[in-house]
Amino acid sequence: MKISQNIYENVLIHSLEQDRTEPVLSGKGDDVKKSLCRAATVFLGLLCLLLLAGLTAVVVHFIQSKFKQERKMVLLQTSYNNLTKEMDQLQTSYNNLTEEMDQLQTSYNNLIGERNQLQTSYNNLIGERTQLQTSYNNLIGERDQLQTSYNNLIGERNQLQTSYNNLIGERDQWPMASYNKRREKSVQHPKGSKSQTTKSYTGEDNEVTAAMPGIKLQRCVAVSFGLLCILQAALNIWLRLTLCIDAKCNNLSDERDELKRIEIGNLTKERDELKRKLILQQISLTTERDDMTKKLTEFAHYSHQGWVYFNGSFYYVSTIKKTWQKSRDNCLLQNADLMIINSKEEMAFVRQFQKVTWIGLTDSDVEAVWKWVDGTLLTLSFWYSGEPNNYYGRNEDCVETNYYDSEDSWNDVNCENENFWVCEKKMAL
């Protein structure tokens, strides 16, 4: 400082000597010259100090601004990285859900194809049943025709049996009638009459000869009756076989229809259940997709508004100061509330802002009963040593994060103090 003063004095003296036009008075002139030099030196010194102080202030302000900007950039980068990570996870989940939806759509299409195949099988079974019904009706008609033929044969057999019985009666009566006739003739013509005897024998032979066609007819009737009995037995056997086959066909048809009905019923139930599950799954996937779309929209909205994302919540750090209640009102207007700290990681996150900020903790309802703004009681705390204390009996019912250089940084203060604040909005998971 002395070197600078001597330099300024020499410069000033030199300039005064150059400008002087009249002789300098000895004694008094030297005193004036020294006073002027000292005044100029003091002025220049003060000017230098002012310039140095201004330069120092500018440098300090620049350094602080740069530091704050870098810190803000770090926070924004961290928030951006977290947001990008969350968005990547949401995109992966969305892709997985889309793939599952495609698989479910494929399964649904396969079920539709199986249902169509079952419908085709069912239609084929209906056709087969119709054909079997037609065959059954034809068999019933043939059976009725056979029954009619059988009844006709029974009538003819009865007629033949009647004729046979009549012939048997005539046959039994014929020898006795012939004998009585011969006897009558022998009585009318005594013995010894040759011509009469000859006539008698001749008439008897003629009667025997006349009876021969009756004997042949009797034999034919017997043979016809035997054949008729054989035919009746065969017809009975055929009818029994037809009835058995018809009964078995009906039983098999009923069993087949019952089995097909049960199988189709089970398949229909299974198809309907799978279809119901598919619809529910599609609704669930659509809901999840809509939720994810909503979350992505909220992420983009709050990120553009300057909110910082951390561990499932968005946080907004104010740039101005207000009282605790006004700070909370500002958060509520943004569909959020004052920050609730539930973990050490969240406490470390808020300390990064390095500001004295309001948090959503108060005992304004009941003294010493600390509650968060959502109504839950305080369980995990980070009080600074000696806090809370109602310092000097003051009514300190609200909490601020004061000593951000350490984890335990909570301090209870009067709610009318003005601080920065942190709003928190939880994202729906």
Tens place of pLDDT for every residue, the chain, 429 residues? 444 444 444 544 444 444 444 444 445 566 777 778 888 888 888 888 888 888 888 888 888 778 777 777 777 777 777 777 877 877 777 787 778 778 777 777 887 887 787 777 777 777 777 777 777 777 777 777 777 777 777 777 777 777 767 766 766 665 555 556 555 555 554 544 444 444 444 454 555 455 555 566 667 767 777 777 787 777 778 777 777 777 777 777 787 888 878 888 888 888 888 888 888 888 888 888 888 888 888 888 888 888 998 988 999 999 999 999 999 999 999 999 999 999 999 999 999 888 899 999 999 888 889 999 999 999 999 998 888 887 665 788 999 998 777 888 899 999 999 999 999 998 765
Helix (H/G/I), strand (E/B), else coil: 412: strand
The confidence score (pLDDT) of residue 1 equals 46
In a domain, 132, yes or no: no
Of 336, 388, 344, whose CA–CA distance to 360 is shortest?
Answer: 336
Token pair of 341 as six digits: 């700290």
Q: Where are the beta strands (DSSP E) in 209-367?
A: 308-310, 313-317, 337-338, 357-362
In 10 A of CB 182, how many CB atoms? 15
**Contact assessment for residue 401 and residue 348, using Cβ atoms and an 8 Å cutoff:** no
Token pair of 386 as six digits: 């000696």
In a domain, 350, yes or no: yes
In a domain, 35, yes or no: no
Give the CATH number, domain containing residue 387.
Answer: 3.10.100.10
In a domain, 100, yes or no: no
CB burial of 122-153 (b: ≥16 within 10 Å; e: otherwise) equals beebeeeeeebeeeeeeeeeeeeeeeeebeee
In a domain, 170, yes or no: no
Of 257, 246, 254, 249, whose CA–CA distance to 140 is shortest?
Answer: 246
CA distance 378 to 372: 7
**Contact assessment for residue 299 and residue 309, using Cβ atoms and an 8 Å cutoff:** yes
- What angle, 0 to 180 degrees and rounded to 10, lies between the N-to-C axes of helices 28-188 and 194-304? 170
Token pair of 343 as six digits: 């973990």
CA distance 306 to 349: 16
* Cross-strand pairs, 313: 310, 426
Residue holding tokens 């990681």?
345
pTM metric for this prediction? 0.42
Q: Domain range spanning residue 383?
A: 308-426
Of 380, 385, 383, 391, whose CA–CA distance to 417 is shortest?
Answer: 391
The confidence score (pLDDT) of residue 181 equals 59
**Contact assessment for residue 148 and residue 156, using Cβ atoms and an 8 Å cutoff:** no
Identify the burial level of 26 via C-beta atoms within 10 angstroms of its C-beta, where 0-12 means exposed, 13-18 middle and 19 or more buried: exposed
Degrees to nearest 5, angle at CA 72 with 68 and 77:
150
In a domain, 3, yes or no: no
With a CB cutoff of 8 Å and minimum separation 6, the contacts of 263 are none
In a domain, 203, yes or no: no
Q: How many domains does the chain have?
A: 1
In a domain, 280, yes or no: no
Eight-state DSSP code of residue 396: -
